[in-house]
Amino acid sequence: MTTRVSPELQFVLAAVRRDAAAAEARVRAAGAVSDWDAVVSLAERREAEWWVWRALPAAGVPEAARDQLGAAVRALARQSLAGVRELLALVRALEDAGVTVVAYKGPALAADVHGDVGARRFTDLDLLVSERDRARARAALRAIGYSSPGGYSEREERFFSAWEGVLHFSAEHALLPVELHWRVQAPRYGAPQDPASILESARRCDLGAGSVLVPAMETQAVLLALHGVKHAWTSMLWVTDFARAVDRDGFDWVRFEAETARWGVRRAVHDALLVAHDLLSLAVPDHWLARARADAAAARLAADAVRGLVSDADSPNAGRESTARYDLQWLGSTRARLRYLALAAALPTPQERAAVRLPDVLLPLAYLVRAWRLLRHVLARNA
C-alpha cells in the first residue's frame, strides 16, 4: 500500500489486523496518533468500532474519546442482540414449516467469522433456501406477519424476483427487513445458481440461545469475496469479513480453490485476496499471491479499491459503486461478459416497475419497458 495514510487511520487499520505483526503495528500506530477524536470518527465511518475499542491502549487516550467509542460499541451490541432474536425466530418459523435455511451475513456472520454478534453492523437479515422450498418459505414468513414492503402483488413478486432469486420482506413488529434468497447469485454473474451444495455442506453456529446453519468456511469465503467485489469494496467492513473468513484455523485452501474454480470466479477471488492482503496484511499462500498479482485486471481493481478506502481520512469509504462497466472488469472471460451483457439488457428489474406500473396481466410487457429504458439511456448519453 503506497498511498500515504494518516497515523489515525493507520491505528484503525492496525486494530483490524490479525497477522503476527498486528500487535506491534498497533503499538507503533498508537504512539503516532495526535487526534483520538479522529480515530473515533474513522472507526465509526469505517464500521470498525468493535475492533478499535478493543485495541485502545491503556493510557494516552482521552476519556471522552474512549467513552464515545465504548458507547457506540454497547449500542451496536444491543442492536445486534435484537437482530439475533429476530433471526432465531425467523429460522424457527421456517424450520417448523419444514424448510432448511442457511443464515448468511448479519449476526450469523458476525458470530461465525468474528466470534461476537456485536462485531459488525447489519441492516437486514439474509436467509438462503432451496428453490423447491421458496413457496413454503414465503408462506411461513407471511404467516408470522411479513409482507412485501413495496406493495407488490403476488404475481409481481414472482415476476420481478424470478431472475434475481430474492424476495424482500418487512414486518411492523420487526426491527430489520428480510431478504429470502433461493439462488446463490443472479444469473448474469454465472454459475452456480442452485444453493443445494451450500445447504448440504452447511454447519451449525451457536447464536445466542439457539443456533443456525451457516455456510462451510471455504464457501463463506467465496460468498464474501463476491459480495465485496460486486459492491466495489465500498466498505472496509467487507474487507475485514473476508480476511477473517479466510484466516481461520482449519481453513482448507485446496477446497477454497476448488470452490473458486467451480463458481468460475477466479478474478473476483484474486481481487479479494489482494485487497485484504494489501489493506489488512492478510497472510496469503505464496502461489495464490503470485497468481493474483499476475492477474493484471484483478491487481488494478484491488489497487483502486485500496486507494479508495484510504484516500481521504475525512471522507466515508470512497470505493466506486458497482456498475455494468465495473462488473465487466472483474468477470473473468469473454463468455462471462457476454452473458452478463445479454441478461442485464434483457431482464426486467424493479426499476421498470417504478417507471411504468403494469397490471398483472400485462407484466410481460416489462421486457419492452426494459428495452425502452436502455435505449433512452444510450440516446441520452450519446446526445
pLDDT digits (tens, 9 = 90+) for 33-63: 999 999 999 999 999 999 999 999 999 999 9
- 71 Cβ neighbours under 8 A, 6+ residues apart: none
| Total number of domains constituting the chain | 4
Residue 106: name the closest of 260, 189, 223 by CA.
223
pLDDT of residue 313: 44
Q: Specify whether 101 is located in the same domain as 169.
A: yes
Q: Specify whether 122 is located in the same domain as 168.
A: yes
Residues 183, 195 contacting (CB under 8 angstroms)? yes
Q: Specify whether 88 is located in the same domain as 207.
A: yes
**Looking at 164, 196, 215, which one is the last position of a domain?**
215
H/E stretch holding 204 reads strand 203-207
Instruction: Indicate which CATH number applies to the domain containing 188.
Output: 3.30.460.40
- Domain-located, residue 77: no
Q: Specify whether 23 is located in the same domain as 36.
A: yes
Tell me the average pLDDT across 205-221. 94
CA-to-CA dists, residue 125 to 167, 177, 193, 255, 323, angstroms: 12, 6, 20, 27, 24
- Domain-located, residue 201: yes
Does residue 316 register a pLDDT over 60? Answer: no
Q: Specify whether 202 is located in the same domain as 166.
A: yes
Q: Specify whether 210 is located in the same domain as 235.
A: no
CA distance 102 to 200: 10
Residue 192: name the closest of 162, 165, 169, 161 by CA.
165
pLDDT of residue 108: 96
Residues 15, 26 contacting (CB under 8 angstroms)? yes
Does residue 190 register a pLDDT over 80? Answer: yes
pLDDT of residue 317: 40
DSSP one-letter string for 151-184: ---HHHHHHHHTTTTEEEEB-TT-SS-EEEESSS
Tell me, what amino acid is at 249?
A: D
Q: Specify whether 255 is located in the same domain as 136.
A: no
85 grid coordinates = 432474536
Residues 188, 201 contacting (CB under 8 angstroms)? no
pTM score of the predicted model: 0.91
Q: What is the pLDDT of residues 230-272, one digit of tens each?
A: 999 989 999 999 999 999 999 999 999 999 999 889 999 999 9
Q: Specify whether 252 is located in the same domain as 292.
A: yes
User: Could you give phi then psi for residue 298, rounded to 5 degrees?
Assistant: -65, -40
What range defines the domain where residue 261 resides?
A: 216-336
CA distance 141 to 94: 7
Q: Specify whether 208 is located in the same domain as 258.
A: no
- Domain-located, residue 316: yes
Residue 206: name the closest of 316, 71, 292, 91 by CA.
91
- Domain-located, residue 75: no
- Domain-located, residue 72: no
- Domain-located, residue 11: yes
Q: What is the pLDDT of residues 135-175, one digit of tens each?
A: 999 999 999 999 988 888 888 888 888 788 899 999 999 98
pLDDT of residue 377: 78
Tell me the average pLDDT across 21-34. 94
- 42 Cβ neighbours under 8 A, 6+ residues apart: 8, 9, 12, 48, 313
Q: Specify whether 100 is located in the same domain as 31.
A: no
- Domain-located, residue 20: yes
In 3-state terms, what secondary structure has residue 205? strand
Q: What is the pLDDT of residues 89-106, one digit of tens each?
A: 999 999 999 999 999 889
Residues 122, 83 contacting (CB under 8 angstroms)? yes
- Helices 236-246 and 217-230 sit at what angle, rounded to 10 degrees? 160
H/E stretch holding 212 reads strand 210-214
Q: Are strands 125-128 and 166-169 parallel, antiparallel or unpaired?
A: unpaired
- 352 Cβ neighbours under 8 A, 6+ residues apart: 366, 369, 370, 373
- When computed from its CA atoms, the radius of gyration of the chain, rounded to whole angstroms, is 22
Q: Specify whether 365 is located in the same domain as 328.
A: no
Q: Specify whether 223 is located in the same domain as 201.
A: no
- Domain-located, residue 136: yes
Q: What percent of the chain has pLDDT over 70?
A: 96
